């Protein structure tokens, strides 16, 4: 072997030994840094933008593990089982207690300063808040627990009158109630005057009564009644080039009618009650036809008609407080009627109707007494239930 060849091999072996030495040195340094909790500079990942590669965006800390009480917050647990164990109409009766607390205190106080907590199950209500807030919570919870979930009977009557001039004779019988919703009026009147008013309305040719149910509601819970009918129409057209006739009509459906919900909560002495009332009416005023051009046979074009619904609706969401022995009457003004049918007289459509599905909708709400006192429920001459016990 020549001297030159021997020199080249020696240099190659030296380079390999140097590379191995560098690798061992690097691995040793990395191991020492890992043991000391230091990042290994030689194996660092490339820079990653926030949110990429699973990296967190928001800085999150563990916290102190204790609830802040810089505003004097205190922890209280309320036993609500005497109420919830009596309610069998819903799977979560405690939700009604939470809902009424939020109505009285407002939702925003539980999601801002001072830090608060509100949670419930069937046995207890947990509240972490200021002493002032606990006073409001206690007042609401007492109204539930003291009632032992007693069931109360209510008479609800939804009627419509084509013209609002029924007020001409009715206003002297009623006294107005403050309402927050725009366009909504409400009045209170005695049960005797309510019977007189209904008698006057029934004599009108434009009067129609849509329902007169008697509802039995646990104190604080909600009850709904609804009456809807489906209205079918041609919603759109979908092209199907591989099938005859080359298109397909897409059907649509709208539920037309009304939905009414009431949630009453009585005072401890049962003399007054709060009630949250929700009512919505949806009516299809008409279907507007629209022609759609689609490719036809032999490169021609044809027109297919679809329908666009013209809807008219109104909503009511209001809270009222009134004496339990009086009747509340609520009017939303001249709005869409619960059904599009015109009022009838002796089964014949009212020919004097000129408006298309518009009327003054009136809701009568009357407390008929506790449901476990059927002997106190009697019928008046016009068929309206009334409670003669303890009225005076």
* pLDDT at position 54 over 60: yes
The residue among 33, 110, 38, 40 whose CA lies nearest residue 73 is: 110
Distance CA 201, CA 241 (A): 59
Q: What is the DSSP string of 302-356?
A: EEEEEEEEEEEEEEEEEEEEEETTEEEEEEEEEEE-SSSSPPEETTEE-TT--SS
pLDDT of residue 285: 86
- For the residues 118-145, what does the mean pLDDT come to? 96
What are the φ and ψ backbone dihedral angles of 337, each rounded to 5 degrees?
-80, 155
Q: Is 10 helix (H, G, I), strand (E, B) or coil?
A: helix
Distance CA 121, CA 81 (A): 9
* pLDDT at position 346 over 50: no
Name the segment(s) of the chain with CATH classification 3.30.1370: 69-147
The answer to which of 90-94, 327-331, 380-384 has the lowest mean pLDDT is 380-384
Q: Is 264 helix (H, G, I), strand (E, B) or coil?
A: strand
CA diameter of the chain? 134
Q: Give me the chain's average pLDDT, please.
A: 80
- More confident: 220 or 3: 220
pLDDT of residue 294: 83
* pLDDT at position 98 over 60: yes
Distance CA 339, CA 312 (A): 11
* pLDDT at position 208 over 50: yes
* pTM for the whole structure: 0.72
* pLDDT at position 76 over 90: yes
Cβ contact 385:214 at 8 Å: yes
Q: What fold does the segment set 69-147 form as a domain?
A: Ribosomal Protein S8; Chain: A, domain 1 (3.30.1370)
Q: Which helix (H) or strand (E) holds 210?
A: strand 207-211
- More confident: 266 or 293: 266
Q: Which helix (H) or strand (E) holds 281?
A: strand 272-295
Strand partners, 99: none
Q: How confident is the model at residue 324 (pLDDT cuts 50, 70, 90)?
A: very high
- For the residues 344-367, what does the mean pLDDT come to? 62
pLDDT digits (tens, 9 = 90+) for 312-321: 888 889 999 9
* pLDDT at position 90 over 80: yes
């Amino acid at each position: 072997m020549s001297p030159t060849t021997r020199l080249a091999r020696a240099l190659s072996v030296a380079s390999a030994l140097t590379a191995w030495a560098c690798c061992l040195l690097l691995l040793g340094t990395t191991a020492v840094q890992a043991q000391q909790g230091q990042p290994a500079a030689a194996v660092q990942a490339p820079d990653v933008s926030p949110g990429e590669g699973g990296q967190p965006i928001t800085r999150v800390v563990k916290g102190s593990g204790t609830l802040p009480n810089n505003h004097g917050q205190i922890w209280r647990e309320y036993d609500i089982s005497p109420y919830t164990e009596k309610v069998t109409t819903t799977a979560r009766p405690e939700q009604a207690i939470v809902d009424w607390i939020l109505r009285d205190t407002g939702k925003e106080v539980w999601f801002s300063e001072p830090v608060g907590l509100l949670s419930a199950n069937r046995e207890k209500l947990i509240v972490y808040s200021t002493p002032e807030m606990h006073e409001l919570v206690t007042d609401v919870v007492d109204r539930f627990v003291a009632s032992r979930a007693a069931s109360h009977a209510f008479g609800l009557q939804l009627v419509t009158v084509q013209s609002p001039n029924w007020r001409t004779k009715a206003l002297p019988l009623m006294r107005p109630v403050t309402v927050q919703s725009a366009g909504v009026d409400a009045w209170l009147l005695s049960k005797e005057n309510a019977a007189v008013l209904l008698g006057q309305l029934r004599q009108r040719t434009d009067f129609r009564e849509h329902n007169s149910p008697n509802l039995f509601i646990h104190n604080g819970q909600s009850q709904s009644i609804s009456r809807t009918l489906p209205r079918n129409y041609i919603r759109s057209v979908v092209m199907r080039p591989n099938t005859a006739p080359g298109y397909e009509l897409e059907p649509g459906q709208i539920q037309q009618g009304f939905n009414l919900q009431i949630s009453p909560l009585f005072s401890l002495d049962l003399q007054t009650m709060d009630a949250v009332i929700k009512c919505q009416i949806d009516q299809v005023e008409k279907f507007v036809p629209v022609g759609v051009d689609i490719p036809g046979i032999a490169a021609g074009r044809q027109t297919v008609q679809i329908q666009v619904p013209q809807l008219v609706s109104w909503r009511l969401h209001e809270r009222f407080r009134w004496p339990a022995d009086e009747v509340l009457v609520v009017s939303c003004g001249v709005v869409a009627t619960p059904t599009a049918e015109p009022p009838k007289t002796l089964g014949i459509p009212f020919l004097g109707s000129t408006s298309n599905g518009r009327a003054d909708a009136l809701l009568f709400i009357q407390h008929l007494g506790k449901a476990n006192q059927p002997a106190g429920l009697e019928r008046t001459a016009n068929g309206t239930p009334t409670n003669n016990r303890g009225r005076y």
